[in-house]
Chain A
């Protein structure tokens, strides 16, 4: 039995502890905002927070979440108005939108640790999150906007 919180709510799981958090969140809790993109930590579509740190939900297992606070896109902000989410909307970042939850979770984690990153830091921190539609120009712009308010 593994116990942890997801978006502030306590959960325990007695299934296979090696289940990746991605599949636990989607299949067991029905939290579908976290996306499957590659299953090998190469694309970032499944990015969630484990105790505030961005991790890949396809690699992190339920066992690794023991005692931790798991946050998904659904729990990033109670009203959907985290500064990163707001900046994303202000700059019309998404095209298809599929990778965006992972991008937003990665950006929120970056800004929590580094409130005023340089462009080089943003590009470096965000390079693990692929956007096939190619929204990077606006992604970098939205992270900058969320960090500085302009």
Chain B
């Protein structure tokens, strides 16, 4: 996400990723095309098909991908294989799944594998920015290359020891055997010799056939932190202690861009345990992740710091946004979406087609700001000493954090170290390292290690919020009620406002999340972005703009089906149209349209796959079955993060307006699946996350400040009402069908599937999120 934004702001050409020599060598030989590759491996008949490399967006990410086994794998004499996890773990399981791919390809016994977490160092590990549902999508290929290279080196070391040909030896289950002699050497015995060998070029590697996988695709490997999590030993952001460490909590300006006018620290200092009261310089909207500023109370322990902050008397100057309100912003967005904006896609002539349509069906959908509310609020520990800064933090982008903290403190990047703990949820919030900069600043100011602990109130009130938007769609119908024109106007606050002066314009990535890449087969399509201005910090939140787009597109589809007396599933399939790979030029898309950062030729918009998940979810859910009064099914589909997901939600609406969801059928096509068990857990989680967003989530600005503060007024789906049984139906593919995103794409289809189900259960149509008390009486 971040890299795309920075690229767009800089207007720079896609950055050539820095890669290791090995990788350059192997890919150079390889990207010439299939023929060159086939030639290179023709001495291994039949195995060329085992793993044909393909281009993907990871190569264009800052610092690219690294596939050097010596960076990621080490083998000890006792046979312990240590694999580096370089992506942050926030619940998707990537800290397990990527090393699992390495281990499988290198024939390591998983029970003898140890995982260590990488520090923030992209020059060494390649891109570590854990967001955008990219971990497996971008790192499954290098993981296989790392594993195969390491296995090759082990085999070579054994062959040398036996003075045998490498073709006569084979690595199997943590040892290398001599095929004819039956001699064996364990990985521990071969460790030193193997790791001293040159890394073989990719063309010399033999990859496993998919039938040979032990762990990949099986769903039997449990997450590496499972035991520690269940016994309280897992280490999160607040769980690192240093000698002499102090704890700080910060009073931040209630309005973004506000400043401390004056403060009285006497009462705070009088709290036993409070040692320092320190002002942090403030930054407003448009200053990337720099801290909001405010007044920090630094104490011997958390309780003293909290009491000290309560005792602070701060007078604020609210600044530019002190009069902002959600009510006014909603009006402004509705007005903006009600008038022409800047076209982002033009196919045919939608204006003319709407003007000559027999009738025009128009609907408008609204979604307020939302906060991520990860269970672990932001927290970081910093120790600035002797010109060095050492950090321990729950961050999604450890290298980005390192660069930002170095810049903030005026230090060199090499003097800053970022240790990544487990993340108690991230959802995009922990991509923004303002809380780490606060800790680093305070440690330097007070001359001791400092942990900055955000309270839940801090988290809800000082977030980088999910966009707020109005999505207005006009569908022109001909005399036979056939849709002939589609015009989508989107007015939304943009993430861009966090990085640059706010011009009310959206980023290409936001436009690419369902606005311009709408897949329906309609002759005339126009998409426009209309201005939307931010009054608080806007940031990416799980699934980002796909949420309001899927909500709008999938809601109006169901609404129009109802209007025309059509079956919602049949009508949805009719709108998607024939199975085809969308021709982006004919569809009127710009050449540089986002496509989730993936090369279009490898990751096209495939309506056949979209149709398939709709049909699969519908069939599994028994679409069309009759339900008692007060119950209904709803269906929705959305392609995001290059994955295709359809959901059928079964909802019950009580006479008191309460909503329960006994069952969801989710069909997901995310290409090749490395860890189906974690795909299922992500789908279950996405439904709960979507339920929270649909039913409860609303951040309200009044006088520029956020009204909500904790779970009493910003509640979450709970065990009392959650999607009770989520059936995940995974479309199975071989490795050749590229692995795509999993962490985020489950959320967008859930919301409209739920609100469509609510309509069918209650007759009440939700066009403004959240549902809140709209179903009461």
Point out residues on A near B: beta carbons under 8 Å: 16, 19-20, 23-24, 26-28, 30-40, 42-43, 45, 72-74, 76, 80, 85, 88-89, 92, 94-101, 104, 122-124, 126-140
Contact = CB atoms under 8 A, between A and B. Distances in A.
A27 B247 contact: yes
Contact of B272 (A16, A24, A26): A16
Contacts of B90: 96
Contacts of A95: 91-93, 681-682, 685
B234 interface: yes
A122 B719 CA distance: 8
Contact of B375 (A34, A89, A122, A130): A130
Contact of B230 (A88, A99, A128, A134): A88
B453 A36 contact: yes
Nearest to B299: A27
The 8 tightest CB contacts between A and B, nearest first, are A33-B232, A134-B688, A98-B424, A96-B91, A73-B232, A95-B91, A97-B229, A127-B720
B236 interface: yes
Most buried by A among B222, B375, B688, B720: B375
Contact of A140 (B223, B238, B306, B719): B719
A74 B231 contact: yes
B111 to A, nearest CB: 15
A40 B239 contact: no
B226 A133 contact: no
Interface string B288-308: 000000000000011110100
Interface in B220-247: 222-223, 225-227, 229-236, 238-239, 241, 247
B230 A35 contact: no
A124 B720 CA distance: 6
Contacts of A126: 719
A14 to B, nearest CB: 12
Contact of A23 (B93, B302, B376, B686): B302
Contacts of A124: 720
B293 to A, nearest CB: 23
Given A27-B247, A27-B303, A123 B719 contact: yes
Contacts of A140: 719, 724
B716 interface: yes
Given A97-B234, A140-B719, A42 B710 contact: yes
A33 B231 CA distance: 8
B230 A89 contact: yes
A134 B682 CA distance: 9
B184 interface: no
A80 B272 contact: no
A104 B376 CA distance: 17
Count chain A CB atoms within 10 A of each CB in B91, B682, B688 and give the residue with the most: B91
B425 A133 contact: yes
Contacts of A136: 688, 717-719, 722
Nearest to B232: A33
A131 B375 contact: yes
B712 interface: yes
A99 B687 CA distance: 18
A137 B727 CA distance: 11
A88 B225 CA distance: 13
B603 interface: no
Interface in B250-277: 272
Contacts of A34: 232
Contacts of A133: 91, 375, 425, 685, 688-689
A96 B422 contact: yes
A85 B226 CA distance: 10
A76 B719 CA distance: 23
Given A92-B677, A127-B719, A132-B373, A43 B222 contact: no
Given A27-B302, A92-B226, A134 B247 contact: no
A112 B247 CA distance: 36
Given A72-B232, A85-B231, A92-B677, A97 B303 contact: no
Contacts of B548: none
Contacts of A128: 718
Q: Give the bracket for the number of chain B residues in contact with chain A.
A: 35 or more
Contact of B684 (A43, A73, A80, A134): A134
A73 B687 CA distance: 28
Which of A24, A38, A132: most chain B CB closer than 10 A?
A132
A19 B235 CA distance: 23
B93 to A, nearest CB: 8
Given A27-B247, A39-B455, A80 B229 contact: no
Nearest to A32: B239
Contacts of A40: 456, 710-712
Contacts of B225: 94, 97
Given A16-B272, A100-B229, A124-B720, 4 more contacts: A39-B306, A98-B375, A133-B375, A136-B718
B552 to A, nearest CB: 24
A137 B718 contact: no
Contacts of B720: 123-124, 127
Contacts of A28: 301
Contact of A89 (B222, B235, B376, B455): B222
B223 A92 contact: yes
Contact of A134 (B302, B303, B717): B717
Nearest to A45: B375
A94 B229 contact: yes
Given A133-B685, A136-B688, A139-B719, A35 B303 contact: no
A31 B692 CA distance: 31
5 contacts: A28-B301, A88-B230, A94-B223, A96-B374, A133-B685
Interface in B656-681: 677, 681
A12 B235 CA distance: 26
A127 B234 CA distance: 24
A136 B231 CA distance: 19
Contacts of B726: 137
Contacts of A134: 684-689, 717, 722
A94 B302 contact: no
Given A40-B456, A130-B711, A96 B375 contact: yes
Contact of A92 (B247, B304, B681): B681
Contact of A96 (B235, B303, B425, B712): B425
B335 interface: no
A98 B424 CA distance: 5
A104 B685 contact: no
Given A97-B91, A133-B91, A27 B301 contact: yes
Given A95-B91, A96-B375, A127-B719, A80 B681 contact: no
A91 to B, nearest CB: 10
- In this complex, the member of A27, A36, A98, A135 whose beta carbon has the largest number of chain B beta carbons within 10 angstroms is A98
Contacts of B710: 38-40, 42
A104 B689 contact: no
Nearest to B222: A92
Contacts of B722: 134, 136-137
A96 B376 CA distance: 10
Interface in B166-205: none
A127 B456 CA distance: 19
B377 interface: yes
A40 B456 CA distance: 9
A90 to B, nearest CB: 10
Contacts of B425: 96, 98, 132-133
A42 B718 CA distance: 11
B85 interface: no
Contacts of B687: 134
A87 to B, nearest CB: 10
B684 A137 contact: yes
Given A45-B375, A72-B232, A127-B720, A26 B684 contact: no
B274 to A, nearest CB: 12
A42 B373 CA distance: 13
Given A23-B301, A94-B223, A130-B711, A32 B422 contact: no
Contacts of B118: none
B719 A38 contact: no
